[in-house]
Chains A and B, each alone.
Chain A
Amino acid sequence: MRGPQQAAVVVRGLCVVRGGRTVLTDACFEVQPAQVTGLLGPSGGGKTTLMRSIVGVQLGVSGEVSVLGRPAGSAELRATIGYVTQAPSVYGDLTVAENLRFFARVLGVSDREVGRCVEAVDVGDHRADLVSRLSGGEQSRVSLAVALLGRPRLLVLDEPTVGLDPVLRRDLWGIFHALAGEGVTVLVSSHVMDEAERCDRLLLLREGMLIADDTPAKLLARTGAPDMEGAFLALVEGRAR
């Protein structure tokens, strides 16, 4: 195991109120650098809100959220965080390469980055295609390619594997671990429990409450469940030791 390092993300007493409703209650956790951390839980549990709070685009936030040693939302962080929302967030009426070149110019990184990022998510063959002509899975990979521009130190990916076929999902998880191997901190959300086993560490979120913060192996051991689905149920029903 790695020695003690400064956490990439530190969250203390985070509460988020949206439209008078509390959607996150007193979340406290750290995200370790150069790991793939999974944010798992059912839809509507607050995963997106938590990710938006870390990226610094969420209103109604109280408590402390610091990213790479700075308060979330600081201007200095904007070029060092890659954020992929559930919407494709790329221009459908531009080609893949034109999208990447535009965001590369906004970030001030060289055009050579475009080729690297397009290849990293395996959409190199579609470089000259309009994004609107691509499948949903290809569009979300283009969106991921944009997030990889300029080698961000933290990647925040909101359900990047939803709706993808198993081969593509496996490949994407391979990419996430390769990035973590290069020192990138990867925070990935999913509502599919079997993806939990692919993470180095897990945060389980349900109804705005963090119900677990552990490694997959330890969660299985603690709950005595045969799989992640069972571990989640055991935690919800208070059977964990």
Chain B
Amino acid sequence: MSSRITLAVAARVLRQLRHDPRTCAMLLVVPALILTLLWWMFRDQDVGFTRLGPPLLALIPFIVMFLVTSVTTLRERSSGTLERLLAMPTGKGDLLAGYALAFGAVAAVQSTATVVLCVWGLGLDVTGPVWMLVVVAVADAVLGTALGLYVSAFARTEFQAVQFMPAIVIPQILLCGLFVAREQLPTALGWISDVLPLSYAVDAMSGVTSSGTGSLAGVDASVWGDLAVVVAFTVVALVLGAATLRRRTA
């Protein structure tokens, strides 16, 4: 791997985004609108926004980066630029790390804006440190990027790539504890929920908002554990993604 190439890839992905102001605007505005809508829905109830806000803070960067990455990577495959890069001295790790870096940075900006809105604009109750919400959101976004990279190898068209969102993401949303608390799921579904990365992403985010004092850096140990699981899933997805990047093709 080469840091020069990794940074070149990351800078190039960000430059492509800069040429697309509408996407940039939507990346910032859409999450804010969704969370404002959620806050409005539950305005006359006590706990709704506090309970559902954190899972959405985890879901949005994950979903957005999953979609953006799978489409970008597919475009890279079909335009021939991936083949060109792999015929150059680009390492597979350079490409993956470059993408993760670029979309991680986008997620950091997106999540900071959303967290600021939730905590100071919409009055989300957070007992743990607010910065940790951003850290978890970035980890979720990079997880989405890693899964998107891996999954895009199995799509031949952009239509197929977009279909992976309902196929891979929606079951995780259903089982992550948003609709039915994970402990209350039927046993078999509980096991499935235990091996899906989004469950840990949502647990981590909810954990920050209820973290007590006297814990590590103001964050409960369980949150650090959940975050470690998310990072581990990301690494596995990146390794699997690297295996799908082939220098030689048929």
Chain A residues with CB under 8 Å of chain B are: 18-19, 55-60, 73, 75, 78-79, 81, 83, 85, 87-94, 98, 102-103, 105-108, 130, 146
CA distance A56 to B79 in the complex (A): 19
Is the pair B15, A98 in contact by a Cβ cutoff of 8 Å? yes
Chain B 54-98, CB within 8 Å of chain A: the 1/0 string? 000000000000000000000000011101111111100000000
Contact of A79 among B19, B20, B83, B89 (CB under 8 A): B89
Select the stretch in B28-36, B151-159, B220-228, B242-250 that faces chain A: B242-250
Contact flag A93-B250 (CB < 8 Å), given A85-B83, A106-B88, A106-B90 = no
Contacts of A78 in B (CB 8 A): 87-89
Is the pair A146, B87 in contact by a Cβ cutoff of 8 Å? no
Question: How many A-B contacts if CB must be within 8 Å?
Answer: 83
Contacts of A103 in B (CB 8 A): 84, 88
Contacts of A60 in B (CB 8 A): 250
Contact flag A89-B248 (CB < 8 Å), given A57-B86, A106-B89 = no
Contact of A89 among B12, B80, B246 (CB under 8 A): B80
Contact of A58 among B12, B84, B248 (CB under 8 A): B248
Would you mind naming 12 contact pairs between A and B with Cβ atoms under 8 Å apart? A19-B250, A78-B88, A85-B83, A91-B16, A92-B79, A93-B19, A98-B15, A102-B15, A105-B5, A106-B85, A107-B88, A108-B4
| Interface of chain A: mostly helix, strand, loop or mixed | loop
Is the pair B247, A56 in contact by a Cβ cutoff of 8 Å? yes
Contacts of A91 in B (CB 8 A): 12, 16, 79, 81
Contact flag A57-B250 (CB < 8 Å), given A92-B79, A105-B4 = no
- The answer to whether B8 has its CB under 8 Å from any CB of chain A is yes
Contacts of B80 in A (CB 8 A): 85, 87-89
Is the pair B12, A57 in contact by a Cβ cutoff of 8 Å? no
Chain A minimum-CB-distance residue to B89: A78
Contacts of B248 in A (CB 8 A): 56-59, 73
Chain B 214-250, CB within 8 Å of chain A: the 1/0 string? 0000000000000000000000000000000011111
Additional A-B contact list (19), CB under 8 Å, known A79-B89, A94-B19, A103-B88: A18-B250, A19-B250, A57-B87, A73-B247, A78-B87, A78-B88, A81-B87, A83-B84, A83-B87, A85-B84, A88-B80, A102-B15, A105-B4, A105-B8, A106-B85, A106-B88, A108-B4, A108-B89, A146-B84
Contact flag A57-B88 (CB < 8 Å), given A88-B80, A91-B79, A106-B8 = no
Interface residues on B, range: 20 to 34
Contacts of A98 in B (CB 8 A): 12, 15
Is the pair A89, B247 in contact by a Cβ cutoff of 8 Å? no
CA distance A185 to B226 in the complex (A): 56
Q: Which of B5-55 contact A (CB under 8 A)?
A: 5, 7-9, 11-12, 15-16, 19-20
Contact flag A102-B79 (CB < 8 Å), given A57-B87, A59-B250, A85-B84 = no
Contacts of A92 in B (CB 8 A): 79
CA distance A89 to B82 in the complex (A): 8
